Amino acid sequence: AQSVAQPEDQVNVAEGNPLTVKCTYSVSGNPYLFWYVQYPNRGLQFLLKYITGDNLVKGSYGFEAEFNKSQTSFHLKKPSALVSDSALYFCAVRDGGDYKLSFGAGTTVTVRA
């Protein structure tokens, strides 16, 4: 079985401050990890993924995420948040040998001006 936990329902930061959205996962095999962002009444947009290689993954719109195997975490980060980053963020995982994605509950990010 595979699962994802996003412990924070909401994250609020001021524009220009660092942004972190937390994610921990559980899989039986090798984890394939993903971050997606969703704007109101829209589908999900792919931000970045970790499959193998460097633990620090850089993605779209200045986002990055760090894979930590010992802590089974894959936190999303952005050094300087923008108001336009306000959205719903989903972490997802699938077992490398499987095809199904399991999503976290989502974290609403609000960046205030």
Partner 1 sequence: GAVVSQHPSRVICKSGTSVKIECRSLDFQATTMFWYRQFPKQSLMLMATSNEGSKATYEQGVEKDKFLINHASLTLSTLTVTSAHPEDSSFYICSARAGQGDFEAFFGQGTRLTVV
Look up residue 107 and give its amino acid.
T
DSSP state for residue 100 in the 8-state scheme: -
Contact between 90 and partner 1 (CB under 8 A)? yes
Nearest CB to partner 1, comparing residues 43 and 113 = 43
CB of 22 to partner 1, least distance (A): 15
Give the 3-state secondary structure of residue 87: strand
Touching partner 1, residues 4-63 (CB under 8 A): 32, 34, 36, 41-46, 49, 51-52
Which residues fall within 8 angstroms of residue 90, CB to CB, at 6 or more apart? 6, 35, 36, 37, 38, 44, 103, 104, 106, 107
**Which residues make up the interface to partner 1 (CB under 8 A)?**
32, 34, 36, 41-46, 49, 51-52, 90, 99-101, 103-106, 108
